[in-house]
Amino acid sequence: MKTFLPLVMVLVQAPLLSAGETAIQKMVPEPVFGGEMLVREAGQKNPEMVLLVHGLGDEAGTTWDGIIGDLALHYHVVAPDLPGFGKSSKGNHLYSPAAYAQALNILVMSMPAKPLYLVGHSMGGGISLVYAALYGRDLKRLVIVDSVGVLHRLAVSQYHTKEQINQNLPFIPSGIGNTLGRFSDLLLEKSSRLPVDPDVALNSETMRKEALGANPTRIAALALVQTDYSLMLGRITTPTWLLWGDKDKVAPMRMARVLQWNLPRTELTLFSGQGHCPMLEDAQGFLAVLARALSTLPHGLERVMQKDQTQDLSCSNKNGQILQGSYGTIRITGCKNIRLVNIAAQHIEIRQSEVEIMHADITAQGEQPAIRVQQSRLSVTGADIHGHTGIVTNQSRLDLAGVRFMETPTAIRAEGNDSALLSSSSVKQFAGKTTAIHISCPLKAKETL
What does the pLDDT look like over 84-140, one tens digit per residue?
A: 999 999 999 999 999 999 999 999 999 999 999 999 999 999 999 999 999 999 899
Query: What was the pLDDT predicted at 397?
Result: 97
Looking at the structure, do residues 280 and 134 belong to the same domain, yes or no? yes
DSSP 214: T
Q: Is 331 left (phi over 0), alpha (psi -120 to 50) or beta?
A: beta
Looking at the structure, do residues 235 and 345 belong to the same domain, yes or no? no
CA distance 202 to 220: 9
DSSP for 100-115, written as a single string: HHHHHHHHHHTS----
Mean per-residue pLDDT for 195-204? 86
Query: What was the pLDDT predicted at 89?
Result: 98
**Lowest-confidence pick of 183-197, 375-389, 420-434:** 183-197
Give the H or E element holding residue 172: none
> Is the separation of the CB atoms in 322 and 303 below 8 Å?
no
193 in any annotated domain: no
175 has pLDDT over 70: no
2 has pLDDT over 70: no
**Lowest-confidence pick of 93-107, 179-193, 409-423, 425-439:** 179-193
State phi, psi for 306 to the nearest 5 degrees: -75, 105
7 has pLDDT over 60: no
CA distance 93 to 165: 35
193 has pLDDT over 70: no
Name the residue with higher pLDDT: 23 or 388: 388
Average pLDDT, the chain: 88
126 in any annotated domain: yes
Q: Report the b/e string of 43-62 with b at 16+ CB within 10 A.
A: beebeebbbbbbbbeebbbb
157 in any annotated domain: no
% of residues, the chain, pLDDT over 70: 87
> Is the separation of the CB atoms in 286 and 67 below 8 Å?
yes
Looking at the structure, do residues 261 and 123 belong to the same domain, yes or no? yes
Which residues contact residue 357 at a Cβ distance below 8 angstroms, ignoring those fewer than 6 apart? 339, 340, 343, 348, 378, 379, 380, 381, 383
- Chosen domain end from 295, 330, 352: 295
- Chosen domain end from 261, 295, 329: 295
Looking at the structure, do residues 321 and 278 belong to the same domain, yes or no? no
- Chosen domain end from 295, 321, 346: 295
Looking at the structure, do residues 283 and 336 belong to the same domain, yes or no? no
> Is the separation of the CB atoms in 84 and 220 below 8 Å?
yes
4 in any annotated domain: no
Angle at 180 between CA 175 and CA 181, to 5 degrees: 65
10 has pLDDT over 60: no
188 in any annotated domain: no
Q: How many helices (H) and strands (E) does the chain have?
A: 12, 22
Mean per-residue pLDDT for 235-264? 95
Looking at the structure, do residues 115 and 253 belong to the same domain, yes or no? yes
CA distance 31 to 37: 10
User: How many structural domains does the chain have?
Assistant: 2
**Lowest-confidence pick of 147-151, 167-171, 362-366, 385-389:** 167-171
pLDDT digits (tens, 9 = 90+) for 288-347: 999 999 999 999 998 887 776 779 999 999 999 999 999 999 999 999 999 999 999 999
**195 — pLDDT class (breaks 50, 70, 90):** low
Return the closest-CA partner of residue 27 out of 87, 105, 106.
Answer: 87
CA distance 185 to 426: 22
**149 — pLDDT class (breaks 50, 70, 90):** confident
Q: Is 436 exposed, middle or buried (0-12, 13-18, 19+ CB in 10 A)?
A: middle
Looking at the structure, do residues 273 and 320 belong to the same domain, yes or no? no
197 in any annotated domain: no
Give the H or E element holding residue 73: none
200 in any annotated domain: no
Looking at the structure, do residues 351 and 413 belong to the same domain, yes or no? yes
Contacts of 440-444 with CB under 8 Å at 24 or more apart are 440/152, 440/154, 440/189, 442/418, 443/393, 443/412, 443/414, 443/418, 443/419, 444/414, 444/418
Instruction: Please report, for the domain that includes residue 127, its CATH number.
Output: 3.40.50.1820
Looking at the structure, do residues 56 and 137 belong to the same domain, yes or no? yes
183 has pLDDT over 70: no
Query: What was the pLDDT predicted at 194?
Result: 60
Looking at the structure, do residues 359 and 280 belong to the same domain, yes or no? no
CA distance 368 to 390: 9
320 in any annotated domain: yes
Looking at the structure, do residues 278 and 324 belong to the same domain, yes or no? no
Looking at the structure, do residues 230 and 273 belong to the same domain, yes or no? yes
Q: Residue 364 is part of which domain span?
A: 313-443
Q: Is 134 exposed, middle or buried (0-12, 13-18, 19+ CB in 10 A)?
A: middle
Mean per-residue pLDDT for 24-51? 97
